[in-house]
Amino acid sequence: MTRIAVLGTGLMGAPMARRLLGAGFAVTAWNRTRAKAEALIEAGATVADAPRDAAREADVVLTMLENGEAVGAVLFGPDGAAEGLRPGAVVLDMSSIPPAAAREHALRLQALGAAHVDAPVSGGTRGAAAGTLAIMAGGAEETIAGLAPVFAPLGRALRVGPSGSGQLAKLANQVIVGVTIGAVSEALLLAAAGGADPAAVREAIRGGFAESRVLAEHGLRMVERDFLPGAPSRVQLKDLDTALAAAAESGAALPLSENVRARYAELIGAMGGAEYDHSALLLELEARTGKRLAPGPDRLPG
């Protein structure tokens, strides 16, 4: 039986661990807040005291952490997973981190006799629970092919290139999501400001060229003014910052991303919206234009 260590059992890591347990894998969980890992015991998981301990018997070490600094610390810091890796183990980093950091981790792990795949995901908490995540994998072809049974309960995995490429694909995803949230916000505000029913407009344009999951799901959040987080705005901002840094490194220009990034920075800084769902970009645009999309109270965290 393949043994998997899941390091990071928060909003995404916990349902992913449950999917793996349901598929029959032996899972050892670790989380900085131990209670979040212990919540998986009833589903069959074992809980480790440190990343090193979780990795000691694992064939695959799966990380789902907030940023590159957290991944680096959990892998290579004191009591880090690298201290307990078995020869031939695979570190499967499903976090969203800078591509350069993923490439560095791959080199450091290779020197220790371990393989590395960066495989960030899209699909949110709903996709994690349902096993329908889009998984963008970067690394050696044979290593990614060998992980097919692990990917299967989680979603659809596709190799997009060598180490770091998975992170580039995730950044492309986040650019599309962020810019599209901005476009949907502006479009529905345009309709409401002119006297149309924005809820009806959203339904009318669905199925045409403007159709997207952002229009379907986040557009509904906007109309219903439901900004309880699936994906917090601070994470969207972090990913846009990473995308812009990667663009600068490669000489690409992303002016639309720069504009949307500034809107998210305003939402988070001036409006205190760090934990609002990223569809709450609408609130910044409403404040800027003095127009309101729909009546009723806003559902906000806290």
Q: Which residues are catalytic?
A: 170
CA torsion sign for 222, 225, 229, 234 is positive
Q: CA 53 from chain center: how many Å?
A: 26
Q: CA 277 from chain center: how many Å?
A: 13
Distance CA(251)–CA(55), nearest Å, equals 38
Tokens standing for 12? 């995404």
Q: What share of the chain is helix, strand, coil (3-state, %, to 5)?
A: 55, 15, 35
Backbone φ and ψ for 179, nearest 5 degrees, come out as -65, -35
Distance CA(28)–CA(44), nearest Å, equals 9
Residues 6+ apart with CB under 8 A from 262: none
Task: Write 28-31 long-range contacts (CB < 8 A, 24+).
Answer: 28/3, 28/4, 28/53, 28/54, 28/57, 28/58, 29/5, 29/54, 30/5, 30/6, 30/54, 31/7
- E-assigned strands of 155-202? 155-161
Q: State the Cα torsion 182-95-102-86 to the nearest 10°.
A: -170
Q: CA 175 from chain center: how many Å?
A: 13
